[in-house]
Amino acid sequence: MSTFEHEMEKAFAFQASQDKMCSICMEVILEKASASERRFGILSNCNHTYCLSCIRQWRCAKQFENPIIKSCPECRVISEFVIPSVYWVEDQNKKNELIEAFKQGMGKKACKYFEQGKGTCPFGSKCLYRHAYPDGRLAEPEKPRKQLSSEGTVRFFNSVRLWDFIENRESQHVPNTEDVDMTELGDLFMHLSGVESSEP
């Protein structure tokens, strides 16, 4: 693309962005007081308009469940991530280009949780940041583990933690008998030791 075409594209993007108002704070995004606040938070799966700070605040809300905070506040369509942008992007092809550029940019930055192999990233293979060892080798994405509940539902974990197992057990209603308690303790021991029970 020539420089002229690139400049024209930027001018059109700026023009299309000028009157866009954040649906949360109700301010025109490009008219916000601080230059750092004049950025859009583009949701990957819908076209509702938000400033980056408002949609990030929405997604950090602790009073809602994960599917709610990952969804658009207006249409409730789930978007895996928010893409910061100085221009409003509505066209899906342009949005896909923006998403790819965002992922590539994030992939160059080191993951603060992985810490060059010293830590564990809670996002596993879904993390957009770089998981590399000090010698530059990229870490293999951790394969998610499965846990089958007594109801027959499957939960996926990046790593199975003791707390997940205990929390799952506490959420179930179990008759209060000594035999059941011993069975649960046996199941817990077998699970933690990595041995699968042969009983159904």
Mean of all residue pLDDT scores within the chain: 77
Residue among 144, 192, 143 nearest 165 (CA): 192
Question: Based on the domain organization, do 115 and 86 belong to the same domain?
Answer: no
Angle, to 10 degrees, between the axis of helix 162-170 and the axis of helix 178-193? 160
pLDDT score of 51 more than 90: yes
Q: In which domain, by residue range, is 149 found?
A: 110-154
Asked whether residue 59 is domain-assigned, the answer is yes
Higher-scoring residue by pLDDT: 101, 198: 101
CB 60 within 8 A of CB 69: yes
Cβ density class 122-138: b for 16+ within 10 Å, e for less:
eebeebebebeeeeeee
Same domain, 115 and 82: no
Tell me the average pLDDT across 26-47: 90
Name the band, by pLDDT with cuts 50, 70 and 90, for residue 24: very high
Asked if the model's pLDDT at residue 105 lies above 80, the reply is yes
Residues 61 and 128 in one domain: no
Residues 40 and 127 reside in one and the same domain: no
Residue type, position 161, single letter: R
In this structure, are 95 and 17 located in the same domain? yes
Same domain, 23 and 65: yes
Look up residue 109 and give its two tokens.
């930055």
Domain boundary among 108, 138, 164: 108
Is 25 inside a domain boundary?
yes
- Are 64 and 144 within one domain? no
pLDDT digits (tens, 9 = 90+) for 137-159: 888 876 656 666 666 666 655 55
In this structure, the number of other CB atoms found within 10 A of the CB of residue 88 comes to 20
Classify each residue of 93-121 as buried b or exposed e, where b means 16 or more C-beta atoms within 10 Å of its C-beta.
ebbeebbeebeeeeeeeebeebeeeeeeb
- C-alpha distances in Å from residue 124, one per residue of 121, 139, 168: 6, 10, 21
> 22 in helix, strand or coil?
coil
Q: Is residue 85 part of a domain?
A: yes
Region of 115 on the Ramachandran plot (φ > 0 left; ψ -120 to 50 alpha; else beta): left
Q: Are residues 69 and 116 in the same domain?
A: no
**Residue 39: CB partners within 8 Å, gap ≥ 6?**
29, 51, 52, 53, 84, 85, 86
Is 68 in the same domain as 2? Answer: yes
Bridge partners for 154 per DSSP: 148
The answer to whether residues 93 and 145 belong to one domain is no
44 shares a domain with 32? yes
Name the residue with tokens 């004049």: 38
Number of domains in the chain: 2
- CA torsion, ordered 124, 129, 133, 135, to nearest 10 deg: 150
Count of Cβ atoms closer than 10 Å to residue 78 Cβ = 16
Relative to beta strand 40-43, strand 145-148 is unpaired
Q: Are residues 127 and 137 in the same domain?
A: yes
